[in-house]
Structure 1
């Protein structure tokens, strides 16, 4: 395995230090589970509602990387809990509180409990592009075909 990327983490004052840091649940996991840190109590999400759920953390991402916030598939399948901006991106120069926008797309109320695994984070390399104005683009077989233009199968 290649050298691990180190993500430095601090806890915001007033949050529960007993809530675990992000962690990979299996050796082959691409995403590390991240937990709600709700010292003021659980959050009730009615169907269709969304809320910013605190993790109580701040992170320092090395330059050249980003952290993506993604939904957990079990919460999505069982309860309709998703992240409306998935994947969310945290840039390497952000140092503010780490919150997760959680949405209840299900048909029943859902309680986000203190300490619950609410999302997963994936660390990914970043390549920045140079955007160059040109008079035209090269041709391809697909061309300008949009959504669904490659067929239904």
Structure 2
């Protein structure tokens, strides 16, 4: 922990604590990048509200575990969790938001795009298999017959 507070001329490296110039992009001691992009609270809240069931708000915040939202999106549980998170994001004080999400390294949009693409491919394959299975003329199934049959 630095002994002196940051001044107008210098700040401290987020990773090693070395005093660096306020406008420096990299720390000379550890070579860590200092340009971190803060995440917008309103954008995160709206993503959680509208696309939260797919975990898009987590990818926006740079959290890889948005993948769990994608894996469980069929269950509806991520939608409920995302609704609570949307309310939480939008109700959070700006200072608390800045402290928590103001220094993220970057977003995980590439992971999100690849994951959604793989999910769409899997759904397309399942639909293709289902169409082929249901269109087989050798074994026609009448749904009305299934509904009217009673076990003896």
Which TM-score band (shorter chain)?
A: under 0.3
Structure ranking higher in strand proportion: 1
Question: Which one has more relative contact order, counting CA pairs under 8 Å at least 6 apart?
Answer: 1
Q: TM-score, normalised by structure 2?
A: 0.22
Q: TM-score, normalised by structure 1?
A: 0.22
Structure ranking higher in helix proportion: 2
